[in-house]
A and B are shown apart, each in its own frame.
Chain A
Amino acid sequence: MNSSISRNAHPSKTNTLSLGIICVLILVLTMQIWLLTAALNESLDGNNAVKWPAFFASTLLFLAGAALLRYLPDPIRQARKAARHGRDTAGL
C-alpha cells in the first residue's frame, strides 16, 4: 500500500517526502547522540539510573526511524516501470 501511494505521487511530492524523511532521521540521530553521551557521562560518574532509560529511548528512536524508511518513495524510473507493468497485467 505504501509503495502504491509513493508510486502514484507527483515527483515534487516524492521530493518533499524524501527530504522530510531525511530531516527527521537526522533529528533522530542527533537525539541518540545526545542520549548516548549523557548516559556514558552519568555512568562513568557512578550514576546508573540513566543508562537503561537512555537505551530504551534510543532503541525506540531507532525503530521509529526504521519504520519511516517504509515511506521512502521509490526511484521515479522504477516507479514508472512498476506502474506500466501494473497496467499491462491489468490488460489496459
Chain B
Amino acid sequence: MNKIMTPPLPPRSSAEVDFPIERTEAEHVTRREFAKFLCLVSGGMAVGSGWVAVKDKIFPPFTFDGERFVCNVEDVPVGGTHPFRLEGSRIPFILIRLTDGSFRAYEQKCTHLSCAVYYSPDKNKIECPCHHGFFDANDGKVLAGPPPRPLPHLEVALRDGAVFVREPEQKT
C-alpha cells in the first residue's frame, strides 16, 4: 500500500511566526515565551528598585528653614481644624486644635493610599474614610487599619497669638 506523502510546508518568515493567521496559534503562549516574560517583569522590578533609590536625588523632598506662619490661634476653635499649604509645596496639611487646647500639624494624606484624612474630635482620632485607617491625634501613630506608617507631622509653635510650624528634627 502506497503511503500518501504530504509535501513539506514552506518555511515561514519571522513576521508570519510573530503574527500567525490562526487565532489559536496567535493566542498560544509557549513556556519559553512565559519564562522570557517573567524575566522582563523581573527587569522591571530591578528598574523600579533603582528608581526608589535615586528618586530623592532627582526630586528632593520638600524642606524649609525656620518657621512658617499658619494662622492666628483664635481662627481654630477647640476640636476644629485648619487646612493649609506651605509656600513652595503642594502637600496639604491640617492644623488640629485638640480638645485639650494644644495644636498639632499633620500631612493630610493617608500613608496608605493618600486619601484625605479628617479629625474626629469626639474620638480624638484622625480617620481615613477610604479604608478606615485610624491615627492617634496626639502623635500621628497608626491605631488601626491598613496605613503602614504614622502621619508625617510638623512641629507647632505658638507665639503672640499666632500659630507657626517648623520642620521636625531629623531622625538619627
Interface residues of A (CB under 8 A from B): 18-19, 21-22, 25-26, 28-29, 32-33, 35-36, 39-41, 43-48, 51-52, 54-55, 58-59, 61-62, 65-66, 68-69, 72, 75
Contact = CB atoms under 8 A, between A and B. Distances in A.
B31 A22 contact: yes
A40 B149 CA distance: 12
B43 interface: yes
Contacts of A47: 171
Nearest to B31: A18
A66 B34 contact: no
A18 B171 contact: no
Contacts of B46: 32, 55, 58-59, 61-62
Contacts, number: 88
14 contacts: A18-B32, A21-B35, A25-B35, A25-B38, A36-B45, A43-B52, A48-B56, A54-B49, A55-B46, A55-B52, A58-B48, A61-B42, A62-B43, A65-B39
Interface of B: 30-32, 34-36, 38-39, 41-43, 45-46, 48-50, 52-53, 55-56, 111, 148-149, 170-171
Q: Is the interface of A mostly helix, strand, loop or mixed?
A: helix
B11 to A, nearest CB: 10
Given A19-B31, A61-B46, 7 more contacts: A25-B35, A25-B38, A32-B42, A36-B49, A51-B53, A58-B48, A66-B43
B148 A58 contact: no
